Chain A
Amino acid sequence: MSSKRFLQSVDLDWLKEAYFSNPEQRRSLKKGDVLMKQGEKNDKLYLILSGSLVAHLTNEEGNNFEVFRSTTDMFVGVYSFFSKTFSSYATILAEEDSELAFIDSHQDVVEDDECRTFVEHFMPIVVSEISARQLMAQRVAMEKENTLKKLLQTEKMATLGQMAAGLAHELNNAIGVLQRKTEWLSEEISEYLNEKDTKGMFSFFKIGLKKGQFLSSSDVRKRQKELQSKYPLDNNLAKKLAKTGLTDDELLPFKEEILEGAERMNYYWEIGSTFHDMLLASNHAVHVVKSVKQLGVANVGKTEDLDLNESIKEALSLLKSILRRVDLKLELGELKTISANSGELVQIWLNIIKNGCESMLNSNTVSPTILVKSTMKGRWINVIIEDNGPGIPDDLKDKIFQPSFTTKKDGLSFGLGLGLAIVQRLVENYSGKIGVESRPGKTTFKIKLPVS
């Protein structure tokens, strides 16, 4: 950026020749020499023939800051010269050894073919200097604003992180206890029932524990009617038996006892399925707490020579249940190894894939498909995760990476709104990049991570 740009309409060479060619009116500065001091007299306009100068201003609070920087073919002393104050508003010194030419306030106009006045000769210079300095001021202001924004964001994340870490720590113990004790209790009860089992009721407990209630409420109603057509059961008992999800074949060994035994069968099944739900819920809670902790604490413990594809596979295995309802296309390329924390990588893929799957399932996307692809390009590993869901609405695109942004609002499935905020943070910690393109029918997350 220089004032030269504004001088294209003026013949700078002519100006130099006409006003700045007098060998008497020259000045040489060594690096560090002061040309003029703030507030002191200056009645000269200088043209820099070579070298560079820098101007500093000290304001009333005593803060010193740079106001402009000028190099070859630029002018200094513009303000004091043309404003007729003949007093410099800044201190100007040589940044390197410099050669200057000058004119003073008594300078006569040099006549040209068009009989232009002195002011006409110099107006372009004044304007271009002012513009250049204004642009510099604007640039500085913009940089400052950006820095401030970044600072605010960092601060926000740090506060959120601390809060999250505190909360996670508090919850971690409580949930850990619940999870462990539920596991213990379900094993103990399982053993106890197995020993006491006289009428084969243990198998009902086990089925409940293993699968929970896997029939939907409408399937339960269908099955209830089916059972009632086969056995003389009342609504209540038939429903209880239907809920267990046992097929006719599985019920066959108990055929004789169904009428008086249905209540007991359901009872044992329900104990099992209650444990199933408790384990599921406590695992969810543990998962949520773990994710929140990721946000708060910088993770240490990197592994060298990590195969990123392994972390993708691990994430996919954690998402087995949701992926049963989604078509998965996996295209994992040959990758260089990376130095990373494998848990963090899993977290990245997990969150993005989970989001994609959930958006497709919640919107009843026809033949929901998710593509996970990894490729090597130079020193970058590129991972693409693409779904054919409804896409991210335009007005939400800017917000998806913000903490506490969520479209999920209820239930056990976790909707803390931290998923993508965590992802972005993790990717940035690896000096990577993440971007998203989305339209209805195609949403693509692109993640780039550098190999070490």
Chain B
Amino acid sequence: MEKLYIICVDDQREVLSTIAKDLAVFENDLIIEECESATEAEELIDEIDSEGDFVALIISDHVMPGKSGVDFLSDVNKDERFPNTQKILLTGLATHQDTIEAINSASINQYLEKPWNKEELIKSVKKLLTRFILKTGLDYQKYLPLTDQETLFEILKKQG
């Protein structure tokens, strides 16, 4: 079976491991990867794609040394290999301009502010994973623990 990945990107190691820990509930059904920079994440998603696996969701910080989160997510957005990859910007400090950029060029799906709430994060992740699974045409029956029932019904109803 193809593997699904969630990529977490944050330059602060303690923050990164906290995000990953919050997402541990998904551990049995997908792989959670931690990256300390956008460049590292880029290499990793290349690798995942070449293995034929899926980058389902990227959760990225914005202000990082080197490439910023918004720039990274914009590039992913333009990349034909990841048309359905869902994107969350998780940041403590973004200017108005950054936010506009994030919506317009990176088409982020969700904007979460630090400090984040665990329940809210998990709910958003479930919703976005559901979208990814259905958009990609994967068999959602196999991924039920990852999906959000409400979103699932909503989309299936629309598809008729």
Residue numbers of A with Cβ under 8 A of B are 212-213, 216-218, 220-221, 235-236, 243, 270, 273, 277, 280-281, 362, 409-413
Closest Cβ of chain A to B160, distance in Å, is: 38
B21: chain A residues within 8 A (beta carbon) = 270
The total of Cβ contacts below 8 Å across the A-B interface reads 52
Once bound together, how far apart are the Cα atoms of A168 and B65, in whole Å?
29
Partner of B31, one of A212, A235, A411, A413: A235
Closest Cβ of chain A to B26, distance in Å, is: 11
Once bound together, how far apart are the Cα atoms of A220 and B64, in whole Å?
20
A280-B14 in contact (CB<8A): yes
B145 at interface (Cβ–Cβ under 8 A)? Answer: no
Interface pairs (26), CB distance under 8 Å = A213-B14, A216-B13, A216-B36, A217-B13, A217-B33, A217-B35, A217-B40, A218-B35, A218-B40, A220-B34, A221-B33, A221-B44, A235-B31, A236-B27, A277-B17, A280-B14, A409-B63, A409-B93, A410-B12, A410-B63, A410-B91, A411-B12, A411-B15, A411-B92, A412-B14, A412-B15
A410-B36 in contact (CB<8A): no
Closest Cβ of chain A to B50, distance in Å, is: 15
Closest Cβ of chain B to A368, distance in Å, is: 14
A-contact bits for B63-99, CB 8 A (1 contact / 0 none):
1110000000000000000000000000111000000
- B95 closest partner in A (C-beta): A409
B16 at interface (Cβ–Cβ under 8 A)? Answer: yes
Closest Cβ of chain B to A402, distance in Å, is: 19
Interface size for B (C-beta < 8 A) is 26
The binding surface of chain A is classed by DSSP as: helix
A281-B14 in contact (CB<8A): yes
- A284 closest partner in B (C-beta): B14
Once bound together, how far apart are the Cα atoms of A220 and B32, in whole Å?
13
Instruction: Tell whether A212 pairs with B14 under 8 Å between CB atoms, given A235-B31, A410-B92.
Output: yes
B44: chain A residues within 8 A (beta carbon) = 221
Instruction: Tell whether A213 pairs with B40 under 8 Å between CB atoms, given A220-B34, A236-B27, A410-B92.
Output: no
A411-B34 in contact (CB<8A): no
B27: chain A residues within 8 A (beta carbon) = 236
Using a CB-CB cutoff of 8 Å, which residues 27-71 of chain B contact chain A?
Answer: 27-28, 31, 33-36, 40, 44, 61-65
B11 at interface (Cβ–Cβ under 8 A)? Answer: yes
- B64 closest partner in A (C-beta): A410
Once bound together, how far apart are the Cα atoms of A270 and B20, in whole Å?
12
Instruction: Tell whether A213 pairs with B17 under 8 Å between CB atoms, given A236-B27, A409-B93.
Output: yes
B33: chain A residues within 8 A (beta carbon) = 217, 221
- A362 closest partner in B (C-beta): B65
A218-B14 in contact (CB<8A): no
